[in-house]
Amino acid sequence: MKLNKVSTRISLLAFIGFSLTAFAGKARPNTNTIKSTDSLITVPIGGNSWRIAKDTIGGNVTNDGIADWADQQVRFNTYVRLTDKGSLKLWLNLKVADGTSRIAVSALKKTKEVTVTGNTAKDYYVGEWAVKDTGYLVIEIKGISKTGKSFADVSSIKLSGAATKGKTAYVKNNEGNYFYWGRRGPSVHLNYTVPEKMNAEWFYNEVTVPVGNDVMGSYFMADGFGEGYFGMQVNSPAERHILFSVWSPFVTDNPKDIPDDKKIVMLKKGANVHTGEFGSEGSGGQSYLLYNWKAGNTYKFLVRVKPDGNNHTTYTTWFFAPELGKWQLIASFSRPQTNTYLKHLHSFLENFEPEQGTMTRKVLFSNQWVADESGKWMQLTKAKFTNDNTGAKGYRMDFAGGTEGDAFYLKNCGFFNNYTARNTLFERPANSKMPEVELDKLP
């Protein structure tokens, strides 16, 4: 059968069209779909994001993610640490209760927008970025427009590409309440090397919070020991504490559960010092002095731990403020079923307010000394740096410590990039001045 010219031409054009369509499909794959071969990570909003706004209405971060997001002025920042460069594709997992919303995502000085709708949670492809440097990446989510009551409920951010193939740092899940701990940020510690076979009865330390580092929610703990801790806090914009606590030998988070024979007993307290019980992170006796200490000034802390010979140990603390020029008693507690001198001497820095986990704070600890039962002083010049499980698990890597001049320092939170390896040993110069304190004349 002989084909005419028209039929041949039509068949040829159809073949060419089919070939070009097939070729074009291969050249431009559908990047909106998450593939099983992608190096995909899922970053939960609940443990890695913060609301950015002046008030507390119109949208918040919950354990389930962004919720009740109605205010266009409310933005949300999510933090992920990357160790590789290269391409980075991003999806938002969300649902919209009603209507249609337009949402913008910004990172690395570039913003991309996506239109979303539907009350069933699913992944929406936003776009691709080029990561040219390693370290912490901040991803901002904000609302552009909406036809419904709220923009969206966002549960997670999904990332893939070359930038995610290395070691990434973010809070993976909420097992062990890690959304709470992760948003608080990593706690960091200095563990001091004390002379062996020494009955250390006194521990002296000096603390300086550099100007601008007195962030709300910070606890700058100066004198830590096996059964308690002593330091200073920023509790609110108008309130600061000098805090001293001793744990009960009865392990519980509820102080009401402690039997009478295992309770911490308050022996005495200083003027204007509040005393009582505490719980939630162990339980025991607590005392605090309301004192408006100042960033940039150096404060002195002194603790005495002495067994009384009747299976009880007495814990007493004093605080020296340069503004007042004298030592003042904080409190003295008796701990039952305990026969010890000072053990496990340490200092630490923590943030106890999850909403302040994006703020960096730093503290200097200097001039550490211990004295034995006879009052003979010995200088402490070595300390090992450690952190809590939030840092040890690699959920957050914004932790650091070291020496600065004659002092040790600790630094945490705020998503800075240079971190200090856990268990690093530091040594400061041994040129500090012996404490100017007459032990037998303390109040």
Query: Are 135 and 81 in contact, with CB atoms under 8 Å apart?
Result: yes
CA 363/CA 366 separation, integer angstroms: 10
Looking up residue 355, the CATH number of its domain turns out to be: 2.60.120
CA 412/CA 349 separation, integer angstroms: 8
Residues in the chain: 443
* Residue 13 scores a pLDDT above 50: no
Q: Considering only CA atoms, give the Rg of the chain.
A: 29
- What average pLDDT does the segment 377-383 reach? 97
Identify whether residues 190 and 144 lie together within a single domain: no
List strand residue ranges (DSSP E) for 345-391, in order: 346-351, 361-371, 377-379, 382-387
Identify whether residues 252 and 382 lie together within a single domain: yes
> Does residue 19 sit within a domain?
no
Q: What pLDDT is recorded for position 279?
A: 59
> Does residue 12 sit within a domain?
no
Q: What pLDDT is recorded for position 282?
A: 67
Identify whether residues 150 and 230 lie together within a single domain: no
What is the DSSP secondary structure assignment for residue 149, as one 8-state letter? S
Identify whether residues 252 and 318 lie together within a single domain: yes
Identify whether residues 64 and 201 lie together within a single domain: no
Q: Which two tokens stand for residue 241?
A: 């504490």
Which position has the higher pLDDT, 71 or 258?
A: 71
Query: Are 71 and 53 in contact, with CB atoms under 8 Å apart?
Result: yes
Q: What angle do CA 380, 385, 390 make, to 5 degrees?
A: 145
- What average pLDDT does the segment 419-431 reach? 96
Domain end among 114, 142, 170: 170
Q: What pTM does this model have?
A: 0.89
Type of residue at 356:
Q
Q: What pLDDT is recorded for position 276?
A: 79
Cβ atoms within 10 Å of 108's Cβ, excluding its own: 14
Identify whether residues 110 and 229 lie together within a single domain: no
- What average pLDDT does the segment 385-414 reach? 97
> Does residue 5 sit within a domain?
no
> Does residue 2 sit within a domain?
no
Q: How many domains does the chain have?
A: 2
- Phi/psi of residue 88, nearest 5 degrees: -140, 110
Domain end among 170, 195, 213: 170
Identify whether residues 215 and 318 lie together within a single domain: yes
Identify whether residues 288 and 336 lie together within a single domain: yes
* Residue 294 scores a pLDDT above 90: yes
Looking up residue 84, the CATH number of its domain turns out to be: 2.60.120.260
> Does residue 273 sit within a domain?
yes
Identify whether residues 281 and 399 lie together within a single domain: yes
Query: Are 319 and 289 in contact, with CB atoms under 8 Å apart?
Result: yes
Identify whether residues 217 and 244 lie together within a single domain: yes
> Does residue 398 sit within a domain?
yes
> Does residue 35 sit within a domain?
no
Identify whether residues 52 and 89 lie together within a single domain: yes
Query: Are 407 and 366 in contact, with CB atoms under 8 Å apart?
Result: yes
Query: Are 183 and 65 in contact, with CB atoms under 8 Å apart?
Result: no
3-state secondary structure of 164: helix
Q: Residue 93 — pLDDT band, cuts 50, 70, 90?
A: very high
> Does residue 241 sit within a domain?
yes
* Residue 14 scores a pLDDT above 70: no
* Residue 235 scores a pLDDT above 70: yes
Q: Residue 277 — pLDDT band, cuts 50, 70, 90?
A: low
Query: Are 92 and 157 in contact, with CB atoms under 8 Å apart?
Result: yes
* Residue 31 scores a pLDDT above 90: no
CA 298/CA 412 separation, integer angstroms: 20
> Which structural domain range is residue 275 located in?
185-441
Q: What pLDDT is recorded for position 35?
A: 61
Digit-coded pLDDT (tens) for 95-136: 999 999 999 999 999 999 999 999 999 999 999 999 999 999
Q: What angle do CA 321, 322, 324 make, to 5 degrees?
A: 70
What is the Cβ-side half-sphere exposure of residue 438, based on CA atoms within 13 angstroms?
A: 4
DSSP 210-241: -TT---TTEEEEEEEETTEEEEEEEEETTEEE
Identify whether residues 89 and 221 lie together within a single domain: no
